[in-house]
């Protein structure tokens, strides 16, 4: 069926797309040579479909992305398909490739991307949008779908940003909305039949639009009102649905998961075995897009996870394993799984890396067994300093719980604590910001309640803040966003308040970049009229915008101004209840009515219980799985007009 590379050897050597002189002149040439452990090798001539999977960022980040590992393994299990990979060339090589007209190539075969049937690009974050154009440009593929011919591959995207694909819709032939395990088989079968029949490019797009979860932007017309908001979005052919429904894997224990994931020869960002324990979240934080778009919660069977963990360690040689989910503490069999991993990894001399957990007796016991106390730190994510603001965002975390957790941690031997907050949340007041500094000081003070003989030097309290960016399909999708100037004022104010605290020597404060956040906000809730801005910025040298050293704020400002983009329209104004959003054609299960009710409850500072405490009628029950339909005694409230 196919061969996997097990280790680097002379038999695995191929002719590389880049000559030695170039490889020796650039940073980390192993980014471009492929041949990693567990890389799949097939004869391209023996398959019907060639699919190139792309992560539009540097290799080390792309190789850490679990979604691509899953799809790579799934597609390559199919005998008729060969899936290869490509990542964004770092600026040093990107410049050389442009100058020497070297086409972008896939790692497995080292053949040009333009020869493939599909180029699949994952959209993980908005600040990668110019890298999409870099990939297309270096591949020799026209940037706009309207300019492509039968000689070009079909360009498809997936990932979190497809829940509002409109700012980049003009660059993609197809958009896959939802979890990739569901509809790719049907799409590729459709492609094979289309290819056999000798159809037109437009013909395939019209046929693909009928596949569940596939959105074809070119088959829709958008009309705007005089005030710039959307008047209507209508399909241009019968096969294109008015509503595109996200694809959801209902049984994670029976779906694809790579037992032989790719192992790079250079250190990746996530340089360890990743065990995905569940998808979805029960918490309902109002700022969190992921908590809504991945509903309902779907756990993997604990016995399946134990078997997977053993196979993954056997097949990779990694020295560390970590758990992956939105809220690992809500996995019901967490203690059984973690204690199994501790025993298994102790025998193998493998480290267990834990995600952020709620600080309780179980968590501290586990962390004490798997971490070196002298080197470890504990992480809390209060998100807001005051209880009022935590109620606004539905965080469900009290100051008492936070301080009790810190006290338990200090008693257990920890002296380093990381705290994560957001600035610019809806309804935020000056005293809410000040309470961030006060809370950090209270945590530091807790440490000094320990007897001197039990202290390990001074406590290290690291308070980090990012800036709030409203996201589609979150209750705050209607909310106004602060300007970069307002963000900076709040950052300076908070820094001043930290310096006023009694234990300020034990507190360190750092903050995200305000200009990047402002641009992220524009694209998060933007529409198709932003595509020209992205093209202009790319042509003026913008790439790797998520990297501080490469972000060109002045260039982006000029591109926005030249294209008449109003920051007020996209960021600063509050949306009306009935405004049509660019993403309203997507059905994620969670209803717009539920999100609006949550937005209203935020203004009322009311907390909504999590899914295990009571069903709030969000709409995700339609997918027929997850905690919302389990018979666990969860209160069912059928009348969604009276859910509260």
Report the pLDDT value the prediction gives residue 346, as an integer from 0 to 100: 86
Q: What is the dihedral of CA 179, 183, 187, 190, to 10 degrees?
A: 180
Task: Determine contact, residues 43/80, Cβ cutoff 8 Å.
Answer: no
- Res 641: pLDDT: 40
User: Would you place residue 329 in the very low, low, confident or very high pLDDT band (cuts 50, 70, 90)?
Assistant: confident
Q: Say which residue, 376 or 170, is predicted with more confidence.
A: 170
| Residue recorded with tokens 């969604």 | 640
3-state SS record for 24-56: CCCCCHHHCCCCCECCEECCHHHCCEEEEEEEC
Segment 55-83 shows an average pLDDT of 97
Q: Are 491 and 511 in contact (CB under 8 A)?
A: yes
pLDDT surpasses 60 at 643: no
Query: Which pLDDT value is given to residue 347?
Result: 86
> pLDDT at position 12, please?
52
Instruction: Name every residue whose Cβ is closer than 8 Å to that of residue 57 and which is 6 or more positions away in sequence.
Output: 87, 88, 124, 128, 131, 544, 546
How far is residue 580 from each of residues 311, 576, 592, measured CA to CA in Å?
48, 9, 11
* Spatial separation of the C-alpha atoms in residues 236 and 220, rounded to whole Å: 5
pLDDT at 1 > cutoff 80: no
For residue 298, the cross-strand partners are 279
What is the pLDDT averaged over residues 208-223?
98
Burial (Cβ within 10 Å: 0-12, 13-18, ≥19) of residue 265:
middle
DSSP 127-177: GGHHHHHHHHHHHT--SSGGG--TTSPEEEEESGGGGS-GGGGGG-SEEE-
Two structure tokens written together for 367: 């962390």
Chain segment 164-186, per-residue pLDDT in tens? 999 999 999 999 999 999 999 99
pLDDT of residue 596: 98
pLDDT at 14: 72
Q: What pLDDT, on a 0 to 100 scale, did the predictor assign at position 5?
A: 79
Residue 170 CA to residue 308 CA, distance in Å, equals: 40
Q: Please, how many CA atoms are within 13 Å of residue 523, restricted to the half-sphere of its CB?
A: 27
Copy the structure tokens of residue 412. 């257990």
- Helix pair angle (399-411, 361-370), 10° resolution: 40
> Which tens digits make up the pLDDT trace of 483-528?
999 999 999 999 999 999 999 999 999 998 999 999 999 999 999 9
Give the pLDDT band of residue 362 (cuts 50, 70, 90): confident
Per-residue pLDDT tens over the stretch 600-615: 999 999 999 999 888 8
Asked if 599 and 478 touch (Cβ cutoff 8 Å), the reply is yes
From the list 355, 265, 273, the residue with the least C-alpha distance to 308 is 273
For 2, the token pair is 């196919």
- Tens of pLDDT, residue by residue over 247-298, are 999 999 999 999 999 999 999 988 899 999 999 999 999 999 999 999 999 9
pTM, rounded to two decimals: 0.94
């Amino acid at each position: 069926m196919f061969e996997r590379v097990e280790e680097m050897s002379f038999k695995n050597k191929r002719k590389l797309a880049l000559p030695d002189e170039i490889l020796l002149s650039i940073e980390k040439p192993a980014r471009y040579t492929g041949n990693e452990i567990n890389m799949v090798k097939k004869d391209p001539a023996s398959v019907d479909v060639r699919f190139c999977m792309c992560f539009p960022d540097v290799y080390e980040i792309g190789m850490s992305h679990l979604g691509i590992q899953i799809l790579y393994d799934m597609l390559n299990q199919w005998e008729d398909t060969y899936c290869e990979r490509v990542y964004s060339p770092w600026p040093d090589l990107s410049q050389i490739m442009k100058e020497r007209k070297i086409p972008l190539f896939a790692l497995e075969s080292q053949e040009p991307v333009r020869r493939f049937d599909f180029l699949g690009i994952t959209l993980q974050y908005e600040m990668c949008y110019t890298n999409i154009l870099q990939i297309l440009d270096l591949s020799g593929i026209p940037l706009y779908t309207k300019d492509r011919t039968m000689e070009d591959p079909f360009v498809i995207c997936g990932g979190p940003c497809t829940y509002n694909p409109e700012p980049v819709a003009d660059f993609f032939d197809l958009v896959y909305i939802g979890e990739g395990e569901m509809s790719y088989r049907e799409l590729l079968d459709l492609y094979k039949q289309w290819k056999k029949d000798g159809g037109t490019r437009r013909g395939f797009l019209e046929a693909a639009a009928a596949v569940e979860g596939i959105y074809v932007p070119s088959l829709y017309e958008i009309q705007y009102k005089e005030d710039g908001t959307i008047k209507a979005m209508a399909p241009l052919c019968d096969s294109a649905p008015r509503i595109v429904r996200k694809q959801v894997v209902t049984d994670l224990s029976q779906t694809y998961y790579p037992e032989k994931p790719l192992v790079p020869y250079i250190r990746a960002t996530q340089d360890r075995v990743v065990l995905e324990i569940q998808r979805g979240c029960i918490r309902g934080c109002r700022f969190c897009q992921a908590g809504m778009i991945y509903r309902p919660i779907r756990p993997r069977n604990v016995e399946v996870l134990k078997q997977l963990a053993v196979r993954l360690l056997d097949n990779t040689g990694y020295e560390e394993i970590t758990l992956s989910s939105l809220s690992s503490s809500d996995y019901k069999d967490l203690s059984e799984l973690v204690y199994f991993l501790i025993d298994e990894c102790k025998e193998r001399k493998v480290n267990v890396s834990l995600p952020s957990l709620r600080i309780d007796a179980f968590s501290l016991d586990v962390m004490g067994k798997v971490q070196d106390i002298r080197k470890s730190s504990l992480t809390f994510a209060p998100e807001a300093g005051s209880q009022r603001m935590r109620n606004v965002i539905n965080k469900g975390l009290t100051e008492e719980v936070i301080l009790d957790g810190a006290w338990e941690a200090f008693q257990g031997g920890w002296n380093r604590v990381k705290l994560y907050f957001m600035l610019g949340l809806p309804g935020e007041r000056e005293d809410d910001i000040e309470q961030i500094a006060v809370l950090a000081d209270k945590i530091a003070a807790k440490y000094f309640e320990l007897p001197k003989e039990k202290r390990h030097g001074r406590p290290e309290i690291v308070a980090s803040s990012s800036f709030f960016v409203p996201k589609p399909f979150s209750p705050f999708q209607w909310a106004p966003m602060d300007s970069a100037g307002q963000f900076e004022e709040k950052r300076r104010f908070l820094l001043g308040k930290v310096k006023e605290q009694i234990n300020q020597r034990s507190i360190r404060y750092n903050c995200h970049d305000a200009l990047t956040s402002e641009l992220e906000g524009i694209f998060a809730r933007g529409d198709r009229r932003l595509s020209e801005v992205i093209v202009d910025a790319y042509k003026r040298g913008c790439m790797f915008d998520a990297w501080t050293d490469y972000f060109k704020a002045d260039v982006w400002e000029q591109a926005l101004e030249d294209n008449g983009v109003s920051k007020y329209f996209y960021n600063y104004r509050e949306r009306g209840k009935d405004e049509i959003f660019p993403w309203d054609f997507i059905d994620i299960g969670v209803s717009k009515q539920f999100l609006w009710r949550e937005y209203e409850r935020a203004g009322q500072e009311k907390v909504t219980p999590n899914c295990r405490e009571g069903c709030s009628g969000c709409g995700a029950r339609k997918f027929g799985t997850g905690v919302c339909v389990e018979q666990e005694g969860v209160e069912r409230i059928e009348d969604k007009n009276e859910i509260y």
